[in-house]
Amino acid sequence: MIGEQYLLLPGPTPLPEQIIRAMSRSMINHRGPAFHDLLFEVTAGIRSIYQTQGEVLIYPSSGTGVMEAAVANFIAPGDQVLAVSIGVFGDRFAAIAQAFGAAVEKILVPWGKSADPQLIKERIDRDTDKRIKAVLVSHNETSTGVVNNIAAIADALGDHPALFIVDTVSGLAAHSFKMDEWRVDVAASGSQKAFMIPPGLGFLAFNQRALSIHKKINNSRFYWDVSTGLEYLQKGQTPTTPAISLFYGLQEALRMMAEEGLDNIIRRHAFYRDLIRAAVSAMGLGLLAEAEQASCSVTSVLAPQTLGANQICQTMLQQFNIVLAGGQQNLYDVIFRIGHLGYVRELDLLAILAALEMILHKMGHPVELGAGVKVAQEHILKNHSDFAG
Amino acid sequence: MIGEQYLLLPGPTPLPEQIIRAMSRSMINHRGPAFHDLLFEVTAGIRSIYQTQGEVLIYPSSGTGVMEAAVANFIAPGDQVLAVSIGVFGDRFAAIAQAFGAAVEKILVPWGKSADPQLIKERIDRDTDKRIKAVLVSHNETSTGVVNNIAAIADALGDHPALFIVDTVSGLAAHSFKMDEWRVDVAASGSQKAFMIPPGLGFLAFNQRALSIHKKINNSRFYWDVSTGLEYLQKGQTPTTPAISLFYGLQEALRMMAEEGLDNIIRRHAFYRDLIRAAVSAMGLGLLAEAEQASCSVTSVLAPQTLGANQICQTMLQQFNIVLAGGQQNLYDVIFRIGHLGYVRELDLLAILAALEMILHKMGHPVELGAGVKVAQEHILKNHSDFAG
């Protein structure tokens, strides 16, 4: 089949051509002045996306790597940790804390739902002797397409001294993330999501409160050690060799993002979400997440019980070269996920919705051809006139 | 100044244009069939470079990351570890083991020398109750330009049951590394060295003996856990999102390397080393390493005492856009290092040697213009006739 693939995963995402070109530049000395300037520029850029005055360090790693960095730096073995899990990545955060010796207590939320801040508040209120040292929460849960209300969870934590540590790997820049305003102490994110660059860079943000706790505690850490990272950052360097080509991509991405404006980027992702949700609903398909908890990065669609989600994904790939994600673990073959992160064109969304209608039609699911597309068109027209007005 | 920079670091190295083009391809689903095939191809390729039938896992990380992986997976807290250090990276390996709870005993070798296998043998022979659980050694020490004799150290270890763990980040594919023949249990390497691709991938190799020890011991690990890595590899996947663009580069690099042939690649690096050493000697400059201990990746040159190494590096950069590395720690301003790793053209070496002569001449160091270049030319001619013959 001719033509580029439609990649609609919750990461990695399509890459803008200008980012690919930027990444094609020659290697430079990572201990020299050119890298120094590059590192300062992108660190400042990531800081502005996190909406923080705190520190940001960039690692050669996947998102999971900086989740491990968040644990190894800010949690000591034996620390009591409250891990709020709403899916695969919430479970992963808890597993990392456990692997690094924390005594992990999990709040398990049914998959497809967001965490109830009231439940967290009740648990925190019971911790009268402040034994809980850290609370781990996912901002956006990729496996279910559900977003947690981080501001409300921050309120639930009140003035409890536990560090508030958030995985926003697939949330950052698709949703607003007001790190300082929401009193998040530590946050982890990665390059292959709303940043529109390939996987391989992790972004760890933390404030002075977290840093002072880091200095008092120990855990098994060398590669992730933020003290070393900050020491090198002062010199315009990284402790170990940085992934230079991805830094070039990040620099270009942050310039594109600054031009578009963070508010516009976040509004654009909400628009994708609303468009997709309305269109698949018009096709008679169910949605896993309720509207007010739905992710702006990825939408989980319930497959018709007669079809199976995996068959839909496979047929979309074979017939139209469209890559969707399936469900994981207990959502395997139950949902398929449409990623709408980063560099997504609105007309591509129309195309994949039209393809989905055709596939469902051919598979015998009752769907009116064009019904979902029409709803999406209406969304686009309204969005254009909103911007024109 | 027009023209591309001459990058002569011990990593990152110049990139072949075909590798840059390979890395420019679009993102794909890292849980899909195309990545599956890519992962199997490059894993097999890395295995052949390591000359091992053992396991290889590829991480999104720098070289230091897989050194941490070697420690976190195969050394338990409290384990007695013998760390043989001949420079900065030997010290780093010991520091990582210490950070992960090992009781580290260091054998410190004067910088510029390789480790004496006899000394290691004596220490190992004294360990009659086999308390030493692992021996950490650098293959090629980037900070000094010295290579250790891994085969001889393996003989020194004899049948002692300690795991033999080698950092060959800057050694692999520049020097021969016969992992199985030399009974190396665990080896760490990275992408930005002889592989001619940008930094960001780490390669961890290990045998069944190491794996069986891994399964019996615990340490703080999640990101680096080789059990998880092997489990995903069976499915043609990685546990966390892989650095896809660097995988494209790695695939192309391994194809280029297979075409050239590993023996030829290693011979080529030895030729670079011999050429550089002969030429700088002809300029009247000293060499830190003795011939039989000298690295094929990087050559440490002693600056004339009247000049200072850093001034030579700065002037080479300013006058001719040539990037050399300085010395680190107690070799700071004492040596400069010429990297000759990976994608290096022999005529580029002539050019930088000519530049060095001119710089030394301008700085007042007595050097006959052309003296070093002539020696290098003779090396090239001899090499060509060797190949023609």
DSSP assignment string, A64-124: HHHHHHHHHHH--TT-EEEEEESSHHHHHHHHHHHHTT-EEEEEE--TTS---HHHHHHHH
Distances in Å between the alpha carbon of A121 and those of A117, A150, A209?
6, 13, 21
Contact list in B for residue A101 (CB cut-off 8 A) is 220
> What is the structure's pLDDT at B387?
67
Q: Tell me: the pLDDT tens digits for B90-105?
A: 999 999 999 999 999 9
Task: State both tokens at A185.
Answer: 């102490």
Residues 6+ apart with CB under 8 A from A267: none
Q: Which helix (H) or strand (E) holds A210?
A: helix A208-216
DSSP B193: S
Task: State both tokens at A16.
Answer: 């803008």
- List beta partners, residue A138: A167
Domains in chain A: ranges and CATH: 6-11+262-388 (3.90.1150.10), 17-259 (3.40.640.10)
> What is the structure's pLDDT at A385?
85
Q: Which helix (H) or strand (E) holds A57?
A: strand A55-60
Count the neighbouring beta carbons within 10 Å of the beta carbon of residue A387.
9
Taking a C-beta distance cutoff of 8 angstroms, is the pair A23, A246 a contact? Answer: yes
> What is the structure's pLDDT at A388?
63
Of A55 and B305, more confident: A55
User: In whole angstroms, what is the distance from residue A177 CA to residue A154 CA?
Assistant: 12
DSSP A294: B
Which of A381, A360, A355 lies closest to A284 in space, CA to CA?
A360
Which of A25, A39, A33 lies closest to A238 in space, CA to CA?
A39
Q: Which of A1, A25, A28, A62 should we substitute to test contact with B (largest number of B Cβ atoms within 10 Å)?
A: A62
What pTM, to 2 d.p., does this model score?
0.96
Asked whether the beta carbons of residue A15 and residue B27 sit closer than 8 angstroms, the reply is yes
Which of A91, A226, A61, A74 lies closest to A164 in space, CA to CA?
A74
> What is the structure's pLDDT at B388?
64
Residue tagged 């006899």 (tokens): B118
What ranges in chain B are assigned the alpha helix state H?
17-23, 33-50, 63-74, 88-99, 117-126, 150-157, 208-216, 226-234, 244-260, 262-282, 309-320, 346-362, 371-388
Sign of dihedral through CA atoms A274, A279, A282, A286? negative
Asked whether the beta carbons of residue A60 and residue B63 sit closer than 8 angstroms, the reply is no
The answer on pLDDT for B2 being more than 90 is no
What is the band of B201 on the pLDDT scale with cuts at 50, 70, 90?
A: very high
User: In whole angstroms, what is the distance from residue A228 CA to residue A239 CA?
Assistant: 7
User: In whole angstroms, what is the distance from residue B278 CA to residue B240 CA?
Assistant: 47
- List beta partners, residue A298: A339
> What is the structure's pLDDT at A387?
67
* Cis status, amide bond into A12, omega within 30 of 0: yes
Spans of chain A below 70 pLDDT: 387-389
DSSP string, B131-177: -EEEEEEESEETTTTEE--HHHHHHHHTT--SEEEEE-TTTBTTB--
Nearest to A24 among B24, B64, B221 (CB): B24
Min Cα distance B240 → chain A (Å) is 6
Q: How far is CA A104 from the centre of its chain?
A: 23
* Average pLDDT of the residues in B184-191: 97
What is the band of B1 on the pLDDT scale with cuts at 50, 70, 90?
A: confident
Task: State both tokens at A47.
Answer: 């800081």
Predicted ipTM? 0.94
Mean pLDDT across chain B, nearest whole number?
97
What ranges in A235-368 are assigned the alpha helix state H?
244-260, 262-282, 309-320, 346-362
Residues 6+ apart with CB under 8 A from A122: none
Min Cα distance B374 → chain A (Å) is 29
Secondary structure of residue A200 in the 3-state scheme:
coil
Min Cα distance B331 → chain A (Å) is 16
Taking a C-beta distance cutoff of 8 angstroms, is the pair A344, A250 a contact? Answer: no
- List beta partners, residue B147: B140
Nearest to B20 among A13, A24, A28 (CB): A24
Asked whether the beta carbons of residue B222 and residue A29 sit closer than 8 angstroms, the reply is no
Nearest to A223 among B14, B64, B77 (CB): B64
Secondary structure of residue B121 in the 3-state scheme:
helix
Size of interface A-B (CB pairs under 8 A): 174
User: In whole angstroms, what is the distance from residue B302 CA to residue B300 CA?
Assistant: 7
Asked whether the beta carbons of residue A323 and residue B219 sit closer than 8 angstroms, the reply is no
Q: Tell me: the pLDDT tens digits for B336-370?
A: 999 999 999 999 999 999 999 999 999 999 999 99
Taking a C-beta distance cutoff of 8 angstroms, is the pair A14, A7 a contact? Answer: yes
Residues 6+ apart with CB under 8 A from B368: none
Min Cα distance A23 → chain B (Å) is 8
Residue tagged 């516009």 (tokens): A264
Can you give the length of chain B in residues? 389
> What is the structure's pLDDT at A289?
98
Task: State both tokens at A324.
Answer: 């969707």
Which of B135, B138, B106 lies closest to B293 in space, CA to CA?
B138
DSSP A296: S
The answer on pLDDT for B125 being more than 60 is yes
Min Cα distance A325 → chain B (Å) is 9
Nearest to A20 among B24, B62, B221 (CB): B24
Min Cα distance B93 → chain A (Å) is 10
Contact list in B for residue A29 (CB cut-off 8 A) is 7, 9, 323, 325
Contact list in A for residue B24 (CB cut-off 8 A) is 20-21, 23-24
Q: Tell me: the pLDDT tens digits for A225-252?
A: 999 999 999 999 999 999 999 999 999 9
Residues 6+ apart with CB under 8 A from B245: A23, A198, A200, A245, A246, B23, B24, B25, B27
Q: What angle do CA A214, A216, A222 make, to 5 degrees?
A: 50
Q: Which of A35, A81, A167, A245 should we substitute to test contact with B (largest number of B Cβ atoms within 10 Å)?
A: A245
Backbone angles phi, psi at A328, to 5 degrees: -115, 150
> What is the structure's pLDDT at B169?
97
Contact list in A for residue B61 (CB cut-off 8 A) is 60-61, 65, 223
Taking a C-beta distance cutoff of 8 angstroms, is the pair A346, A319 a contact? Answer: no
> What is the structure's pLDDT at A386?
78
